[in-house]
Amino acid sequence: MTTADGPLGLVETQRVVLFEEGSPLVLASGRELAPVEVAFETYGTLSPERDNVVFLCHALTGDAHAAGHHGDSSERGWWDNIIGPGRPVDTDRYFVVCPNLLGGCQGTTGPASTDPRTGKPYGLRFPAITVKDLVAVHRALLSHLGIERPMAVLGGSLGGMQALQWALDYPTEVPGAAMVCATSRLTAQNIAFSAVAREAIMRDPDFNGGDFYDQEKGPELGLALARMTAHITYLSEEAMRQKFGRRRQDPSAPTPDPDAPESDFEVDFEVESYLRHQGTAFLDRFDANTYLYFSRMMDRFDPFADNQVFERLKTLVTRFLLVSFDTDWRFDSSHSRVIQRQLARAGVPVSFREIESPWGHDSFLLEVPEYHRTVDTFLDSLWRER
């Protein structure tokens, strides 16, 4: 394998049907869903004792392809910088599993999937889902792989929310949970950003009540605007200053005349071009309905509101790592501290680290040395204690 090919090289996305018509997935709402297909990838080798599993949970716009490549070595998985031989999620030690989430649009059953009752895509007839439902499918996938329990569950943003829910619902099942840039409860500001994104999608003339799959095009404008809005929240002001400043897209173009009667609203600054590119590129890989379902699911996530959680905390065996970044304003460090207080009050072992990084919420996807060392140390301790 060449260096240019990356540490893992070519990887394959696998698919499995975990729930059939005769044994459907029973959702937290009581609704039933079948069949449920799941796309997933694995990296590394499962130990004979099956005790070296690191389960990765992806964020809102992620998928099963966390590392390696699918044929183009320049297009690698979303967490490729942290997974591989000798990296924090060391595939010489750990067997890594990463699925596309229930409700997703990259191989796992979601709103774009065919509803067996109608033969057409579910659209908005897809049932509402919760983070509990995501965890139910994760556990079913491990069972399919012959794995009773993961050594650790690791995720950033929405991925961290899944790690928390898993540990709280199954208090004797997860030895370690690492939550990066995560929250146990969205603030009003978080919900407001999501509301704007959903409005952009649903007000698009091509949305058609979510039934756009047989149309020439779907709500492309709305989905692109949703992505542009969200992406602003993933970057810090310092990150934008370093990346773009007030640089113009075409420095050689004449400076606009502020007294000219004509107004020019085309792309002028680099940051405008960047956001437009992010919105357009998003259309090739994401489904507008999945965005609606996932963002609403995050709005409603509030596991500590369940009084039974505190009873389960008495038997919790999970050791937690909470990581935040000092410039993340989407889920700033106060979110992690809330989780820390709730867990520590019940005597649950929990470590919290706020790490310096200029890159805001997106820092969890980047190669920030202290962050990587922190995750490495945490997983190493679980490995030695297993």
Is 47 part of the annotated catalytic residue set?
no
Torsion of CA 360, 179, 39, 126, to 10 degrees: -80
Is 335 part of the annotated catalytic residue set?
no
**DSSP one-letter string for 77-109:** -TTTTTBSTTSSB-TTT-EEEEEPPTT-SSSS-
Helix-strand-coil percent breakdown of the chain, rounded to 5? 35, 15, 45
Dist CA 305 CA 74 (whole Å) = 44
Determine the 3-state secondary structure of 170 from DSSP: coil
* Catalytic one of 336, 361, 362, 363: 361
The pairing of beta strand 319-325 with beta strand 350-355: parallel
| Residue 35: cis peptide before it, omega within 30 degrees of 0 | yes
Is 113 part of the annotated catalytic residue set?
no
Determine the 3-state secondary structure of 19 from DSSP: strand
CA distances from 179 to 57, 84, 264, 341 (A): 10, 20, 44, 15
CA distances from 196 to 125, 191, 222, 237, 289 (A): 22, 9, 10, 20, 15
46, two tokens: 């499962």
Residue type, 337: R
Sign of CA dihedral 144, 146, 148, 152: negative
341, two tokens: 């207080």
* Catalytic one of 90, 328, 332, 362: 328
Determine the 3-state secondary structure of 41 from DSSP: strand
Q: How does DSSP classify residue 34?
A: -
Residue type, 232: I
Catalytic residue numbers, as ranges: 157, 328, 361
